[in-house]
Structure 1
Amino acid sequence: MDKADKAFKLEGTIVLPGSLAENGYGIRTIGSDFGILTPEYKYIGKARYMREIYIPPSWRNKEIEIFLERVLWESRIFIDGKELSRQDALGTPHVHRLGKLSSGTHELAVLVDNEMIHNIGDKGHAYSDYTQSIWNGIVGRMEMRALDAARIESVRAFPDIENDHLKVEVNTNILLGSNTTLGYLVKSVKTGKMVMDGKINPVNGKDNNPFVFTIPVNGRLEK
């Protein structure tokens, strides 16, 4: 832990997901605070969580990302001492894109700062002693993931029942060239069998992301 970066230092081990207070780190509380939650330990400032990680050879040329479901408030990712990513969402996961990493052993450090990094006042439910205490840590799901260099980021479908068409919007992480072909297939939810397949050229407009295409739908409702 590093209070104000210099004045307060303490080293130890911690179990994550979890908070400093859950693991017994911080300034021990004496008595209770009137009208607000009173954790057993309090700490506001920066805390550095470090461990050794191993990148397998099978992750070569993969894009590495770290998923942290809940952090209060800012998280910064360092690999071998070099900062690669920073996130500061309060109510949504922190997804850190690290790019490609060489196979082998690396030092991972996550620097979490639970100071009020943006002045939102004292009435915000996501950062308040009244609703959850101002904890420092990482809670919920924690993952390190290897992604293909070119991949689909999201897919949205918009059915047009009257005209028997289905509009599909696809977001990719890269711009697709004019010679790119996208293959698709449609399966029956009931049987799992393919009922339609095809190929399209996804180029659509100057930005080419997202691209939208429409496929005909032939079928009937089943009860």
Structure 2
Amino acid sequence: MDKINLHGSWELLLDEEQQGIKEHFYKSETPFPKQIQLPTTISEAKLTPRRDLASTDHLTDPYAFEGFAWYRKTVFLPDNCKDYDWELYLERTRITQLYINGVEAGSFDSLCTPHCYPVTPWIKSGENQIVILVKNIGYPTNGGHMTSPDTQTNWNGLLGALELRPLPRERILSLRLYPSFSGQSLTVRGRITPCAGKLELLIQDAGENIIIRTFHQTENSDFECRIPLENKLLPWSEYNPVLYQLKAVLYTGGTAADECSQSFGIRDFEAGKHHFLVNGDPVFLRGKHDGMIFPLTGYAPMNTEEWLKVMGTAKDYGINHYRFHTCCPPEAAFQAADQLGIYLEPELPFWGTVTSPSQEGHNEELQQYLITEGFRILDTFGNHPSFVMFSLGNELWGSKEVLNGILKAYKAHDKRHLYVQGSNNFQFTPCILPE
């Protein structure tokens, strides 16, 4: 069954005073007076009165809106919809709360990664009403350049892919790739739904020619398979950004139950004594600060073509490295960097002080949110060869022990990247942490 694309016309109700939860705006009888064509933002759609006051120290959003925004759409599902599990996929947004057919179905608060809602219990064949509450206030973090007016603006909207996805009951849940140029291997780690099955793993080139085919028997939900490469694949670097495709097919009962694909590049990115090394060769990072500043829209592009244009221009001027200041770009930026050969360093959306529980002003909710957001970034974008470094934020202060502990946890979770405590931390007394 094909996924259902939710792009197009949605009803919209602006709730600047945040009364909608108490007033049950998610019920079908509530009138939604506006229409909006998603994906977009309220500002881009010009759905608020224009402000003539202009700021001189940051971008001016003439149609700014902050508060609750309620988005509603009626969707029809086929009679056999209950043969599948269903997921609502929102590629990039703010804090969201989901209601299906008048019932709350969960909430997500990631600023940097997609909101993926399992919605099987709430959908039915025929007519379904989807209501998404988007909040661009009350963030767990200050958001850094993900929300600041001098970069993206604090937009409210839904961007990128918006889809209802049918998922087979027996399926591949995750796929993480660990390529090694020096070890000439590709280690595939993943998870499937509990079932007895067999995985077919195919490595393909750009022309979809099969270079390596192997099979792996799955005995439980988690699996790991090491594929010897024997110098059959070219290495990835800024000078030769060669990409390959891993296709995984899950067989149960002799038939293909599910399949998924993931592009990758064979590369090692390491810290040498005096240089960074790519596949053993020294590299000099000719980089730029990037806060995802796109003033014509107020948000970063969500398609690869736009990022290819932007990053391609930068590479023409000799840039080979992007440091994303307190922000993480969307999937399209990683794809463009993979194709062009640009080394990326996303950061947690934070600019401030990290404290220990014993310190005055400690905010445990904020700290746990940031740590969780980091794991989400690693899991979502970690397969991209362009993702070579990860930073905890900008100009951080506070507890060196806590910063070191966060780095240690990330390194234990995913060793594919280099990790740094932050950019310009402890400005007047720089320090090197053990991790």
Name the TM tier (shorter chain). Answer: 0.7 to 0.9
Structure showing greater relative contact order (alpha-carbon pairs closer than 8 Å, 6 or more residues apart): 1
Q: Which residue of 1 aligns with 2:326?
A: none
8 Å CA contact 2:173–2:191 kept in 1: the answer is yes
Deviation at 1:159, TM superposition (A): 6.0
Please say if residues 184 and 231 of structure 2, whose CA atoms lie closer than 8 Å, have aligned partners that are also in contact.
Answer: no
Shift of 1:23: 2.1
- The change in CA–CA distance for 1:31 and 1:145 in structure 2 (over 3 A counts) is same
CA drift of 1:210 comes to 2.2
1:63 aligns with 2:85: yes
Whether contact under 8 Å (1:186, 1:197) holds in the other structure is yes
- Mapped to 2, the partners of 1:161 and 1:130 lie a distance apart of 41
Query: How far does residue 87 in structure 1 lie from its aligned partner after superposition?
Result: 1.0
Contact 2:189–2:225 at 8 Å: present in 1 too?
yes
Is 1:74 aligned to residue 80 of structure 2?
no
1:113-138 deviation digits (Å, cap 9, x = unpaired)? 000322427xx100111112111111
Give the deviation of 1:163 after TM superposition.
8.7
Q: Which runs of 5+ in 2 are unaligned?
A: 1-13, 21-30, 235-435
Distance of 1:119 and 1:193 partners within structure 2: 46
Counting aligned pairs with the same residue, the percent is 26
Query: In the aligned structure 2, how far is the partner of 1:21 from the partner of 1:159?
Result: 42
1:175 maps to amino acid: P
Residue 149 of structure 1 aligns to a residue whose secondary structure is coil
Alignment of 1:190-201 (within 5 A): 192=209, 198=215, 200=217
Deviation at 1:218, TM superposition (A): 8.7
2: CA distance, partners of 1:167 / 1:70: 29
- For structure 1, the 5+ residue unaligned runs are none
Secondary structure of the structure 2 residue equivalent to 1:60: helix
Separation in 1, partners of 2:54, 2:214: 65
2:386 alignment counterpart: none
- Distance in 2 (CA, whole Å) between partners of 1:12 and 1:42 is 16
Cα gap change, 1:5 to 1:166, in 2 (>3 Å): closer
Aligned to 2:18: 5
The answer as to 2:134 corresponding to 1:112 is: yes
Q: Which residue of 2 aligns with 1:212?
A: 224
Q: 1:141 corresponds to which residue?
A: 161
Q: Which of residues 10, 21, 46 is equivalent to 1:24? A: 46
The letter for the 2-side match of 1:53 is: V
Q: Deviations over 1:47-74 (max 9, x none)?
A: 1000110111243221111222211x20
User: What residue is the counterpart of 2:145 in the other structure?
Assistant: 125
* CA-atom RMSD in angstroms: 3.2
The answer to which structure has the higher helix fraction is 2
Residue from 152, 155, 179 that aligns with 2:172: 152
Larger radius of gyration: 1
Question: Equivalents in 1 of 2:45, 2:191: separation in Å?
Answer: 41
**Cα distance in 1 between the residues matched to 2:159 and 2:16:** 21
- Aligned equivalent of 1:184: 200
- Tell me, in whole angstroms, the C-alpha distance in 2 between the residues paired with 1:145 and 1:3: 31
Structure 1 distance, partners of 2:114, 2:142, is: 19
Question: Is 1:175 matched with 2:188?
Answer: no
Closer/same/farther in 2, CA of residues 209 and 32 from structure 1, 3 Å limit: same
Corresponding position of 2:25: none
Q: Quickly say closer, same or farther: Cα 1:90–1:163, change in 2 above 3 A.
A: closer
How many residues end up aligned between the 2 structures? 209
Q: TM-score normalized by structure 2?
A: 0.42
Q: Residue 27 of structure 1 contacts residue 43 of structure 1 at CA under 8 Å; is this kept in 2?
A: no
Aligned with 1:15: secondary structure?
strand
CA deviations over 1:188-216 (Å, ceiling 9, x no partner): 7578469755462x23xxxx44222446x
Cα distance in structure 1, aligned partners of 2:168 and 2:212: 28
Write the distance in 1 (CA, Å) between the matches of 2:233 and 2:34: 61
